[in-house]
Each structure stands twice: as C-alpha cells, then as structure tokens.
Amino acid sequence: MDVVDLGGKPEDGDASKDGRIIGAIASDEGTSFFKMRGNAALVGAEKEKFLKWIAAMRAGTGSESPAMPQVAAPTSNKPEIKWDVPPDWSPGPASAMRYASFAAPNDNVDISVVTFPGDGGDDLGNINRWRQQLGLPPADANASNIVPLKTNETTFSTIDIAGANTRTVAAWTRKGGRAWFFKLTGPSNGVEKEKANFVKFVQSVRF
C-alpha cells in the first residue's frame, strides 16, 4: 500500500476545514483508493486510526459496509475555560470548528480560539501552516521565533508572523490532554493596534 501525506490548502480554502490530505492506494485484487481530508491538526490526530481502518478493510476484518472514520469537531464535549474579554470586543459568528470567535473594531481583525484533543500537531508544522496562509515560505526549527508567555496557570508559546499585508499573532498551550490555540489575524496595522489586548486576553485564560 502506498500512502501520501500532503499539507497545504487551496488559495480560497478555510484552514479550519482544510489543510491536509492523506491518501492511500492499495493494489490487491484490483486497485482501491482511500482519502481523508480536513483540518491539518485533526487529520494528523486521526491518521493512525485511518491507516488501521484501511488495513482492516484489506484484511477483510472490517464491516461489510464500512463507514469512513469521522474526524470529530474540536468542540465536541466542549471543555470549560474562563477568560476576561476586552470591553470593545464582540462575539464573532458561531463555528463548529472554533471554541470561540471575537471581532475587534480595528480594521476587521479576527480573534479565534480553537481546541483539539491530544497535542494538536507539532509546533513547527503549525507555524509553517500559518506562514503559508500569509504567503510566506516555511521556517526551519532554528528560525521559528517562538516566545514563551507565562501566566498564573500555564506557559503559552507565542509567535508573531508578518506577511506582506497581513499578520498573525498566535498563542498556544497544551493542558489537560488538549491543545489550545489562540490567534489574532488581520491587516498588519489592525493587528498591531489590537496586539496588547490580545496578549492580556491570553494572560487572563483560566483552565
């Protein structure tokens, strides 16, 4: 069986729903094709189960009408955390892929909170996905520029990535068997204006 693992998303794609494809080609009695596609971190978390499922189908030990393993939305069994929201932020539109969203008055910036079970993928892979979204080339491990941000309950990793016209400030931590990602994204000037509020928001998080 040949397995292909591809990262990246279409130019008009949504990173919360796209970003990674795992494909497999099995040549037994004829040729069978298998594919799993979705959010990069979620697909990574389900990769082992996906490959085991394919192996079971090839061995004839799966169900007669096998169902594709489903990648659960990160908000399933929604865990509870608390934070202090800046007074001029407003709740953003609901999304099955986000724990929470906020909008700020500065130049259409977007604030997102996403959580996944497990470790949520490796740091460099996540950073390079964010860089790709800003039209930047991948960084190597020595140039990722991760800065720690200590709070009363945990230590976040943070990074500030600037593209030609857009910018992302991200903070993430792993707590209680889950990965938590906080992102501020938008036009560079708007992100600069809102960065201090974003940092205070992250520092206020209580698990």
Q: Where residue 123 sits, what CATH number does that domain have?
A: 3.40.1000.10
Question: When comparing pLDDT for 45 and 118, which is higher?
Answer: 118
The predicted structure's pLDDT at residue 66: 47
Report whether pLDDT(119) > 70: yes
pLDDT confidence band for 73 (50 / 70 / 90): very low
One domain for residues 114 and 173:
yes
How far apart, in whole angstroms, are the C-alpha atoms of residue 162 and residue 131?
8
Residue 67 included in any domain: no
Distances (CA, A) of 45 to 58, 74, 151: 22, 11, 27
One domain for residues 107 and 193:
yes
One domain for residues 197 and 141:
yes
User: Average of pLDDT values for 159-184?
Assistant: 96
pTM (2 decimals)? 0.65
Report whether pLDDT(171) > 90: yes
Report whether pLDDT(53) > 80: no
How far apart, in whole angstroms, are the C-alpha atoms of residue 47 and residue 184?
28
User: Residue 146 in contact with residue 158, Cβ under 8 Å?
Assistant: yes
Report whether pLDDT(120) > 70: yes
User: Average of pLDDT values for 147-151?
Assistant: 96
Residue 73 included in any domain: no
One domain for residues 45 and 147:
no
Domain around 98? 90-203
One domain for residues 95 and 195:
yes
Distances (CA, A) of 1 to 51, 58, 68: 10, 10, 18
One domain for residues 184 and 99:
yes
Please give the tally of structural domains in the chain.
2
